[in-house]
């Protein structure tokens, strides 16, 4: 049996690895606006006099649009397949992100461009990429999802470094154009040639022999929305995304506040992406072998250590480096754990709608978190209260994951 299962996993990888690669690059592109915002805050504030709260409101606009549209995008993925949605929305995202370079002195102009950008980000959320990979992998799904989601680590590592260099050498307007062009050239060809799903392949080949692992098993949308575990998973995902994303987005401002130079802060923040890749691969291997509830619960406790280090030794580059690595491990494991748990607790029957709704909450956390952090800084002049607030949020998220219960079988009953 073990040999047969190993063979099944190998067969999945032979057919599906290009989709994992393309999905990873799609995930990297989808993080561009999130992980570049922190570096654009200072030059935008200096040129236009906007508050950091007003600047961060762009992410909030994107989050609100994401929440409102996520279930509908998920339904479209279930019916149309991920390829067409992902390819067209990624192309539109690159165009609109480049348009941010044209913003004028009116904050309303800034918010209007972010509203337009938000309309493109609805189709490049994790639901698109996870739906494709999950449809092609069953035995090796945990590792496949983790490797695909490593794209966020690539994005969070490369985007701050490239953005900082472009802003220093060419100014913030050129930085927007440069980032858009860099990711477009790197990502769009891969999506065009390699990104697909079981549904997309079936549509193209018209062959009934196309393998669709677990494509129709699991809960219906109604059953999922009536399940208490759906709300536990959604709430836990929202809280840890609120912490991890806002912490990462504001890592450069936080480290600069503690006394580090901007270059040192950007370099340390870049290690978050590298360590997140390690966290994702490790989590993927463990998810295929251990209880995912435990893996998720433990991973969301990690930011507490990062907070403790920065509170105890502010301004220390070595300590900040360790804190960033620990935060990256959490950032790397939390999203793939949530995606994996969604496939195990709810199945693939209505994955697009159910995980799409959770993805909308993740988008809300992505937008609200940085806004709240900026508001605290504008009010208090310090980031220290934020670090203290992260601790109870992580504890609550961990408790929600630990109490999800056993995976249900194909009929929705606990195993």
CB neighbours (10 Å) of residue 181? Answer: 13
For residue 131, is pLDDT > 90?
Answer: no
218 DSSP β-pair partners? 347
For residue 77, is pLDDT > 90?
Answer: no
Residue 218, φ and ψ in degrees, nearest 5: 115, -170
408 DSSP β-pair partners? 414
For residue 394, name the pLDDT band (cuts at 50, 70, 90): very high
For residue 60, name the pLDDT band (cuts at 50, 70, 90): confident
What pLDDT was estimated at residue 202? 66
What pLDDT was estimated at residue 191? 92
Determine contact, residues 153/276, Cβ cutoff 8 Å: yes
Higher pLDDT, 79 or 91: 91
Determine contact, residues 257/140, Cβ cutoff 8 Å: no
Q: Is the dihedral of CA 51, 240, 31, 275 positive or negative?
A: positive
Task: Give the tokens for residue 75.
Answer: 């339904």
Question: How far apart are the C-alpha atoms of 190 and 178, rounded to whole Å?
Answer: 19
Determine contact, residues 27/190, Cβ cutoff 8 Å: no
CA-to-CA dists, residue 99 to 49, 104, 176, angstroms:
20, 11, 8
What pLDDT was estimated at residue 409? 63
Higher pLDDT, 412 or 262: 262
What pLDDT was estimated at residue 205? 61
Tokens 């463990």 -> residue: 286
For residue 4, is pLDDT > 80?
Answer: no
Question: How far apart are the C-alpha atoms of 65 and 228, rounded to whole Å?
Answer: 25
For residue 71, is pLDDT > 90?
Answer: no
Q: What is the mean pLDDT of residues 147-167?
A: 85
Tokens 């102009």 -> residue: 109
Q: What percent of the chain has pLDDT over 90?
A: 33
Determine contact, residues 172/43, Cβ cutoff 8 Å: yes
């Amino acid at each position: 049996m073990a040999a047969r299962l190993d063979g099944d996993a190998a067969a999945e990888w032979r057919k599906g690895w290009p989709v994992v690669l393309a999905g990873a690059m799609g995930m990297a592109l989808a993080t561009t606006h999130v992980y570049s915002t922190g570096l654009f805050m200072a030059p935008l504030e200096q040129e236009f006099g906007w508050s950091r709260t007003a600047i961060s409101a762009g992410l909030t606009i994107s989050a609100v649009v994401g929440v409102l549209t996520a279930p509908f995008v998920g339904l479209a993925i279930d019916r149309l397949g991920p390829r067409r949605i992902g390819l067209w929305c990624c192309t539109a995202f690159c165009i609109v992100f480049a348009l941010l370079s044209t913003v004028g002195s009116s904050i309303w102009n800034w918010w209007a461009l972010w509203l337009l950008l938000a309309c493109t980000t609805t189709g490049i959320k994790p639901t698109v990429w996870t739906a494709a990979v999950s449809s092609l992998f069953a035995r090796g799904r945990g590792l496949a999802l983790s490797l695909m989601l490593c794209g966020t680590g690539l994005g969070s590592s490369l985007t701050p470094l490239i953005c900082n260099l472009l802003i220093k050498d060419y100014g913030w307007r050129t930085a927007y154009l440069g980032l858009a062009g860099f990711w477009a050239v790197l990502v769009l060809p891969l999506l065009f040639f390699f990104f697909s799903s079981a549904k997309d392949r079936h549509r193209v080949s018209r062959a009934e022999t196309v393998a669709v692992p677990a494509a129709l098993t699991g809960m219906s949308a109604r059953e999922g929305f009536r399940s208490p575990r759906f709300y536990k998973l959604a709430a836990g995902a929202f809280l840890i995304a609120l912490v991890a994303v806002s912490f990462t987005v504001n890592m450069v401002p936080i480290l600069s506040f503690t006394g580090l130079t901007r270059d040192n802060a950007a370099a340390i923040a870049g290690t978050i992406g590298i360590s997140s890749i390690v966290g994702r691969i490790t989590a993927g291997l463990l998810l295929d072998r251990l209880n995912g509830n435990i893996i998720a619960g433990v991973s969301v406790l990690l930011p507490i250590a990062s907070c403790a280090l920065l509170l105890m030794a502010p301004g220390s580059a070595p300590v900040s480096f360790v804190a960033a690595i620990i935060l990256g491990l959490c950032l790397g494991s939390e999203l793939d754990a949530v995606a994996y748990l969604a496939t195990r607790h709810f199945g693939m029957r209505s994955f697009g709608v159910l995980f799409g709704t959770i993805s909308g909450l993740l988008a809300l956390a992505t937008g609200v978190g940085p806004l709240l952090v900026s508001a605290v800084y504008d009010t208090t002049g310090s980031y220290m209260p934020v670090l203290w607030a992260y601790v109870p949020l992580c504890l609550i998220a961990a408790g929600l994951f630990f109490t999800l219960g056993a995976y249900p079988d194909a009929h929705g009953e606990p195993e």
